[in-house]
Amino acid sequence: MRRVVHVGPTMAPGGMSSVIHTLAANPPEGYRASSCNTYSSKGVRRKIKRWRIAKKQIKNGDFDIVHIHSASDWSYKRKISIAKVAKAPVIFHIHSGKFDIDAKSDLVDYQVVCLSPNWSEKLQHLVGDSISVLNPVDAKLSEGIERENFTLLMGRNDPVKGHEFAYSLGLDDLRVTGVESAPDEVTALGWVSEEEKWRLLQTAGCLIVPSTFEGQPMVILEALAAGCPVVASTNVPDLPDCVKTAPLGDIEAWKDAISNPISDGLAKAVADHDIKIISKQWGQIYDKIIDSNTSTE
């Protein structure tokens, strides 16, 4: 069995962590998968310690391929330093919707992967040539759950996620994960378990994503797989036709879209993201890189 290790913020909430866990739990045929955490929520010193531990694990580990998952800014700087000590071929997988670092010279020896052909084109001047692989969805759906009439917002408490704009809509029943407090008329749910996440997506009347920027939001893909209608900001790229969009700041447009979301063809729109398809694609990529590296040794 060949060995792949996924390097990234496995202990963090959010979409990148979800991708890592899904891929690690569903390795391609012929592969064993493990993960290496680079994240700590306990201050700068613990983050630095966690980075050093991860770097040592990759430097000393026995792997056939190292699959690094990166955002931008400090996430990129930590991950590229880990890539440089890896003894196996490296995949550098960029998840960020705000990648703005000229990294061509850093990444020249690695296989760069972006989230879609559109992102590969957008980032070409920064990262060089890349391939694209869609984010995977492994839907954990339950039988007998009825959809309700509340609006759902899922995401960390960060200005880019648009919480304040969502609150300004004055919706009758808005429920928000990832926050511990919210205005009186909003239900703050905090961070929820994987099981609760899927239950919410199966019961919400609509998911809203009022983000100022995104890469390829896992929450949208998972919502569609669960049959939950989605309304998203026009700032979110590469959306299927079944997702209604509205400009940030246009309250009436958002209210209208939330009142009249699209409910047909949702699961079909994300069929290509099914984990079985994506896992097979990664297997082909891993094999090609490993076999090519072996042939030149």
pLDDT tens digits, 119-148: 999 999 999 999 999 999 999 999 989 999
**Sheet order of strands, 31-37 included:** 31-37, 2-8, 65-70, 90-94, 111-114, 131-132
Q: What is the pLDDT of residue 15?
A: 86
> Which DSSP state fits 278?
H
Q: What is the pLDDT of residue 109?
A: 95
Q: What is the pLDDT of residue 214?
A: 82
Q: What is the pLDDT of residue 297?
A: 55
What tokens were used for 148? 């309700």
Helices (H), 33-182: 43-60, 73-83, 104-107, 117-127, 163-168
Q: How far apart are CA 230 and CA 220, in angstroms?
A: 7
- 203, 146 in Cβ contact below 8 A? yes
Q: Is 245 helix (H, G, I), strand (E, B) or coil?
A: strand
Q: How far apart are CA 52 and CA 9, in angstroms?
A: 14
CA dihedral over 162, 38, 281, 142, signed as positive or negative: negative
- Residue given tokens 């969502």 in the structure block: 166
What tokens were used for 28? 């391609």
Cα 277 to the center of its chain, rounded Å: 17
C-alpha closest to that of 76 among 42, 41, 51: 51
What tens digit of pLDDT does each residue of 90-106 get? 999 999 878 999 999 99
Q: How far apart are CA 223 and CA 266, in angstroms?
A: 9
The DSSP-derived string for 116-133 is SHHHHHHHHHHH-S-EE-
- Helical pair 73-83 and 43-60, crossing angle rounded to 10 deg: 30
Q: Is 83 helix (H, G, I), strand (E, B) or coil?
A: helix
Residues across the chain: 297
Q: How far apart are CA 93 and CA 72, in angstroms?
A: 11
Q: Are strands 2-8 and 31-37 parallel, antiparallel or unpaired?
A: parallel
What tokens were used for 146? 């009825």
What tokens were used for 292? 């090519």
Which residue ranges in the chain fall short of pLDDT 70?
294-297
Q: How far apart are CA 268 and CA 5, in angstroms?
A: 31
The DSSP-derived string for 159-205 is GGG-HHHHHHT--SSEEEES-S---TTEEEEES--HHHHHHHHHH-S
- Domains of the chain plus CATH, in order, are 2-137+274-295 (3.40.50.2000), 151-272 (3.40.50.2000)
What tens digit of pLDDT does each residue of 8-44 get? 999 988 889 999 999 999 999 999 999 999 999 888 8
